[in-house]
Amino acid sequence: MLPSSPPSYHAKTITGATCLQRYQRQIFNSRQEVLHFDEIKNGLSIWKWPTDSSGERIHPSILAEFCLSHELTHPICLCPVYAPHSPPRQALILRSDQFGSRHCGEYIAKCSEDTCGYFVPLQRIYSPENSVKFVASRAVPQRDRPATRTAASNLQTAPASSSKPVPLPKRGLKRSYALLDISEPHFIIPPFHPPAQHFASETELLMKLDDFTQPGLYEPEFRALINMLGKYARRQPIDPRREHVLVEWRTISLHLEMKVMSRKLKSNHTIIDSTQ
């Protein structure tokens, strides 16, 4: 447990003080590994807990003696962060005797000078419920390959001595047959009827010239309209009673040609004087 009243330290910068407090929280909140200061990385790293021949972690009660006999270093406290010019120090591994503390009687690791606030509850990390165990992967049953069907067109008739169809060699089942089940008698491919092509009449094309939203004709439509007017004008014989209609169509045709010619001249930035 972190001391209720942490030791008063005077960090040179606010950034250093914030970094020290963040390291203290990360170390204390670690549940499965012991974190300590790594001078090479200039940050926190995992301290390798010594293990016995069977791979089990050494009990905290004999951890200090084991490190001493095997010349292993203890976790490094946060003194290099607290005082940048101080050398790295090894933390003490002992049994807490602080009366009234929640970790009283447990084995802990703390700063040997009680200055940087380094504190690790070793007993909690060593606890079996916090240790990482091997979890066997879930056995996934192997699925059988789905049965394939052979289309009737992929079969050939066997000799007369046998009535069973024999599959053709070196020819796989087509994907479309397998998905559509085309060999079934109830499967019927619906006929395709393309939509009827609609041709605009003379009236519709003329109305598009003065349309409110998008007035004008495309070039193919304009050519079709000119052809329609020309065919109507070349009809023989001319009925005197419909002569005014022919004159009207010729006038419209001339008007369209003049309109197109004026658009071409405008597109070429040519100005036409209407008085000439």
| Residue predicted with more confidence, 135 or 128 | 128
Per-residue pLDDT reduced to its tens digit, 192-239: 777 776 777 777 877 777 777 777 777 788 888 788 777 765 655 555
Instruction: Tell me the whole-structure pTM to 2 decimals.
Output: 0.42
Average pLDDT over residues 80-99: 88
Higher pLDDT, 105 or 209: 105
Nearest-angstrom CA–CA distance, 68 and 158: 86
How confident is residue 110, by pLDDT bands cut at 50, 70 and 90? very high
Q: What span, in angstroms and rounded, lies between the C-alpha atoms of 100 and 248?
A: 113
The per-residue pLDDT of the chain, averaged, comes to: 71
- Strand stretches in the chain, DSSP E: 34-38, 43-47, 92-95, 107-110, 119-120, 155-156, 166-167
DSSP secondary structure of 123-167: HHHHSGGGS----PPP-PPPPPPPPP---GGGEEPPPTT--S-EE
Instruction: Please give the pLDDT value at position 14.
Output: 43
What is the pLDDT at residue 200?
Answer: 76
